[in-house]
Amino acid sequence: MANAEGSDNMLNRVMPKDNIGLAAVLKVKENAWEGLSAEQATLSQPILVCTAHIHWDPEFCDVKLIQTMMLSNELKTILDEIPGQKYDSIQLLLCGDFNSLPDSGVIEFLNSGRVSMDHKDFKELGYKSCLQKIWNCDTPNEFTHSFKLASAYSEDIMPYTNFTFDFKGIIDYIFYSKQGMVPLGLLGPLSSDWLRENKVVGCPHPRIPSDHFPLLVEIELVHLSNGYLNRR
């Protein structure tokens, strides 16, 4: 609220839209790393796992983007508080219902690590000066993060994750650290033929209890000790 001084939209439009993020720092057990030397295997390999739900209303794309930026800021704070760890040695797995399509500012920010301060999703509502007080901007006219994320799913694999009568689209995602994780396989969508044969035009449905389809990815971890890569 202190940083929102001069921005009524931050106070009255963004701040009342509470949503949730859950994060936990996990450590891979030492015996998971077969083939490593004893010294390498004892080096800590933390993984920050987070799941989140971002505001739903399509009319509030500005709120969604700012909430996602706030989430990334909190995740960085968590990483900075982990003792004895270099920032780039901690891997991130970020999952959630971001209520944002692939061409949105939210997904551009997560995928590319940056978003323009003048992005259309801010709706020219005067957030720039307020957000500049919160974020240390390394590049002019951009908000950035340094997680180096990639999406486990693509549009050609999963044409929609949310399937209702009047909306079908991708709004759920699994992001992973590109330098330390490798996707091995994933769960694809329900068959369009099956949906058509069973006359499923929207969910929830008696045979499908949620309007969101599950996302499931098997990921291989890379041990990043001393620049040495070992996959398990």
Supply the residues annotated as catalytic: 97
Q: How would you classify residue 66: left for phi > 0, otherwise alpha for psi between -120 and 50, otherwise beta?
A: alpha
Q: For residues 42 and 219, give the distance between their C-alpha atoms in angstroms, rounded to a whole number.
A: 22
Q: For residues 221 and 212, give the distance between their C-alpha atoms in angstroms, rounded to a whole number.
A: 27
69 burial type by CB count under 10 A (0-12 exposed, 13-18 middle, 19+ buried): buried
Q: Could you give the 3-state DSSP secondary structure of residue 42?
A: helix
| Cβ proximity of 125 and 175 under 8 Å | no
Q: For residues 82 and 167, give the distance between their C-alpha atoms in angstroms, rounded to a whole number.
A: 41
Q: Which two tokens stand for residue 150?
A: 């990639």
Q: For residues 60 and 55, give the distance between their C-alpha atoms in angstroms, rounded to a whole number.
A: 8
Return the axis-axis angle of helices 61-80 and 105-112, rounded to nearest 10°: 30
Q: Which residues partner with 51 through β-bridges?
A: 22, 95
